[in-house]
Structure 1
Amino acid sequence: PVWRRPSQRVCGLEIIPLAELQRPRIDVTARISGLFRDAVPNAIRWVDQAVRMVRDLDESDEENYVRKHVLSDTAWLKEQGETQESAWERASVRIFGDPPGVYGAGVADLLESKAWETLDDLAAVYTRFSGTAYGGDGMARAYDPEVFQRRMAGLDVTVKNEDTRETHMFSSDDYNAYHGGMIATVRALTGKAPRSYTGDSSDRQRIVLRSVAEEAARLFRGEAMNPKFIEGMKKHGYKGASDLANYLAHSYQWDATSAVMKDWMYEGYARKYVLDAGMQEWMQEVNPWALHRMAETLLEAQQRGLWNASQETLDELRSLYLSIEGDLEERAEG
């Protein structure tokens, strides 16, 4: 990017020579959100322009992966009867997102509804919500699932950056819907997981990159199991219990898309959030629905083969789940 000083706004783009870059030009596909689409179309323009500038360079396949893939995808599309011009344009798209007027990635709602069986189901929904191609004018071109899935199948690495410590991957199901959905789609299409990372640029003088699994374990140890965090949440009564249930639900959802949870982590949630006598008593008082949801989430993780739980823990969870369900039915009946 060429920066206009002192405003620090981007006013143009320039090509970095390969001698200075000292590596091949990497091919990147961007999945933008509906909010990004609506709020910063100028950024879409710059990314699209950058792709086209690099695509048109007279460089070898070993030096320029963008050009290499555009050429190969153009040939693939022409084999299907596409014209040269149309194939060239479709093969050059690197920005995908929601259809116009639509927000989200669909994966969170699907996981919450339990109406899925395999990664293929998650990939199908992610593709439907993400497969709309966007051009340099910031406007949607067309829903192009074939090209989108070809881009996903070619991914070796996925990354989502966070520039604040106020939220993180367990704070909301959006993080998993967008990034986890992409990981699940790659896994479904290729049969293997991409290398997946989360960036932390909250301190721009000390940018940190961790794998998604490392970040999940860090948050689990440092926050989810932290007594100070739990006690702080308990001060918020009904809402605190609800947020703890969400924390567990988001952890499970990340596991469903990206296989980030270990048995000991599920066991930790079970013992500290659900089966602990003090937590049970507090939740029964302020929000029994949250306790019911947590027990249900843990049982679903076990049923789907994500958690190899001990028989003792399973028996305790099932007994608690049935007990709470009976109490909630009585409440509903007045």
Structure 2
Amino acid sequence: MAELFLKSPTANPKERSREENPKVEGKSEHKRERIIKNSRGTRIVRSLRVCGELQLQMNLLDRAIKMVAELDEPVEMNYVRKHAMEQAATLGVDIREAATRVFSNASGSYSSNISLAVENSSWNDEKQLQDMYLSRKSFAFDSDAPGAGMAEKKQVFEMALMTAEVTFQNLDSSEISLTDVSHYFDSDPTNLVQSLRKDKKKPSAYIADTTTANAQVRSLSETVRLDARTKLLNPKWYEGMMSSGYEGVREIEKRLTNTVGWSATSGQVDNWVYEEANTTFIKDEEMLNRLMNTNPNSFRKMIQTFLEANGRGYWETSEDNIEKLKDLYSQVEDKIEGIDR
């Protein structure tokens, strides 16, 4: 946990007792205030937490945060304690429960299901997606009850997110980026945090690219722009997909759908991304016909996604573009149904 000022009990984990506590630096050993991050276990953590060693690590994180929250220190030097005390008073719980900051899905559960809602266009508004995130991701690791399973602590989770100022994810594969798969936006709470904050301020959102030796941290909006330029809007990429035939069109459609997912969870997709995608895949008559003839079902989903992006306010464009998309939707429907007009 960043900035807690913790010391590992021993350098060699083989020599460390499983029950040994982390140690906390005293005020004289550090010069900055203690801050905290809320940790949300990813899918891989959810899959591996049955492993005793991983469960131990999660419990150590939880124990460390609670130790810092209980330190007898001025709150201006210990924001962990400050927020935990405020949340304990509001919720009527003890400070250790209020200091819970390590959350994930319930045992046997997977993802927030936001990706499924976006993929199937089966959501009414962003509030519905945010409620899904809260209900699915509010299960806590609790070092005070080891082996008891994941307990739902939705109110604690909400209050912890209310004080968040930054959201953060990392890329760990050069082959899989933000729009290649849906789980990145499925795990993103940027708009959720904004909705929970009293001042309604959008948190800063960052992505760490650790796929090379020269790791970089970029803003989420910058990373989305980079991803659009290197994948969805890159002629070498989409022509490579088109050479794969039916499945290639589906891959293009998937990137467009995942881009809408980022709009829904973070609002960090620039208007030009949709506009240039429309120019590339819809305004170009030759490309349009290739897409329609190669995989009419995925092309229909692309048209639907463009219309949805406009209808939800993520893409502002001309009425001519919207009318063309509506006409195309009817044409591709007829093609799929075998209707010759």
The verdict on a shared fold, with TM-score over 0.5 as the criterion, is yes
Structure 1, residues 142-193: CA drift from partner, whole Å, max 9, x if none? 21221111111111111011222121111111100111xx113112223332
SS at match of 1:197: strand
Q: Counterpart amino acid of 1:315?
A: E
What is the aligned length?
Answer: 322
What does residue 4 of structure 2 align with?
Answer: none
Residue 137 of structure 2 is aligned to residue 135 of structure 1: no
What does residue 233 of structure 1 align with?
Answer: 241
What does residue 124 of structure 1 align with?
Answer: 131
Q: Counterpart amino acid of 1:275?
A: K
Q: Counterpart amino acid of 2:161?
A: M
Judge conservation of contact 1:35–1:103 (CA < 8 Å) in 2. no
What does residue 3 of structure 2 align with?
Answer: none
Q: Counterpart amino acid of 1:134?
A: F
What does residue 29 of structure 1 align with?
Answer: 38
Residue 86 of structure 2 is aligned to residue 72 of structure 1: yes
CA RMSD across the alignment: 2.5
Judge conservation of contact 1:29–1:95 (CA < 8 Å) in 2. yes
Unaligned runs of 5+ in 1: none
SS at match of 1:27: coil
Return closer, same or farther for 1:34/1:195 CA change in 2, 3 Å cut-off. Answer: same
Matches within 5 A, 1:194-213: 194-204=203-213, 206-213=214-221
Distance in 2 (CA, whole Å) between partners of 1:221 and 1:133 is: 38
Matches within 5 A, 1:28-67: 28-39=37-48, 40-67=54-81
Per-residue deviation, 1:140: 3.4
Q: Counterpart amino acid of 1:69?
A: H
Structure 1, residues 115-148: CA drift from partner, whole Å, max 9, x if none? 3333221111111111112213375342122111
Return closer, same or farther for 1:200/1:106 CA change in 2, 3 Å cut-off. Answer: same
Judge conservation of contact 2:46–2:110 (CA < 8 Å) in 1. no
Judge conservation of contact 1:33–1:103 (CA < 8 Å) in 2. no
What does residue 110 of structure 1 align with?
Answer: 117
Distance in 1 (CA, whole Å) between partners of 2:55 and 2:282 is: 45
SS at match of 2:280: helix
Provide the TM-score with structure 1 as the length reference: 0.88
Matches within 5 A, 1:280-295: 280-295=288-303
Distance in 2 (CA, whole Å) between partners of 1:16 and 1:240 is: 54
Provide the TM-score with structure 2 as the length reference: 0.86
Per-residue deviation, 1:35: 3.4
SS at match of 2:76: coil
Distance in 1 (CA, whole Å) between partners of 2:84 and 2:281 is: 50
**Following TM superposition, where does structure 1 have runs of at least 4 consecutive aligned residues deviating by more than 6 angstroms?**
9-12
Judge conservation of contact 2:169–2:206 (CA < 8 Å) in 1. yes
What does residue 99 of structure 1 align with?
Answer: 106
Per-residue deviation, 1:53: 2.8
Per-residue deviation, 1:280: 2.1
Judge conservation of contact 1:51–1:66 (CA < 8 Å) in 2. yes
Judge conservation of contact 1:93–1:133 (CA < 8 Å) in 2. yes
SS at match of 1:49: helix
Unaligned runs of 5+ in 2: 1-6, 49-53
Relative to structure 2, which stretch is displaced further, 128-137 or 114-123?
114-123
Residue 180 of structure 2 is aligned to residue 171 of structure 1: yes
SS at match of 1:67: helix
SS at match of 1:270: helix
Relative to structure 2, which stretch is displaced further, 35-44 or 134-143?
134-143
Distance in 2 (CA, whole Å) between partners of 1:314 and 1:18 is: 61
What does residue 249 of structure 1 align with?
Answer: 257
SS at match of 1:203: coil
Per-residue deviation, 1:17: 5.0
What does residue 329 of structure 1 align with?
Answer: 337
Judge conservation of contact 2:191–2:267 (CA < 8 Å) in 1. no
